[in-house]
Amino acid sequence: MKAIIFDMDGVLIDSEPLWRTAERQVFAEVGLDLTDADCELTMGMRTDEVIAYWSARSPWQSGPPEEVERRLIERMKTLISERGQPMPGLDHALALVQNTNLALALASSSSPILIETVLRTLGLTETFDVVRSAIHESYGKPHPAVFLATARELDFPPPECAVIEDSPAGVRAARAAGMRVVAVPPPHLYADPAYDLADVKLRSLQELTLELLG
């Protein structure tokens, strides 16, 4: 193994509850009342794909999709800056990798502005050798494009990369990229069979070891 690729939302930062808050608030403004379970259906997807998902199922007339997406990103930027906290065990996981010769990368479905906000909020702006947003790819997760692009930028073949993910879409994307997958699901989704595709499943980053990374 030559490189470790971290997802961001739900892996670096405890932002999934913030996403649910933002999505419910923003979509309510266009007349769409989502539950937390509804929001979990699009967990790990790009914001434009989240907007397209709900627009196809419950079209609204009170604003173009691009404006709804802009408001969602702005709401998330505010919530991250005000409430963003690292995931349990993050310091342990980063130190584990930084004390080796492994390259360290970030591959996220979030927009570059939200990635920048998270890294600044957590004090991690100088931590990663490569930072990649799926916004720059033709397809978001569960398509493997963002992971394959990250591997190319790292200059390592996909089988020499391990991915740490928290969402079913991210696990599928990393598996499709041909990478080792370490899943850290949200506690209430730990038993979800969608995570069975992962090579390893942890309850917290605190459980991460070099042996589990391969």
- Sequence-separated (6 or more) residues with CB below 8 Å from residue 154: 2, 3, 103, 105, 129, 130, 161
Is there a catalytic annotation at residue 7?
A: yes
Among 145, 169, 69, smallest CA distance to 113 is for 69
> Distance between alpha carbon 72 and the CA centroid of its chain, in Å?
16
For residue 142, cis peptide bond before it (omega within 30 degrees of 0):
yes
Q: Give me the numbers of helices (H) and strands (E) for the chain, helices first please.
A: 9, 6
Say which amino acid occupies 56.
A
- Is 9 annotated in the active site? yes
Catalytic residue list: 7, 9
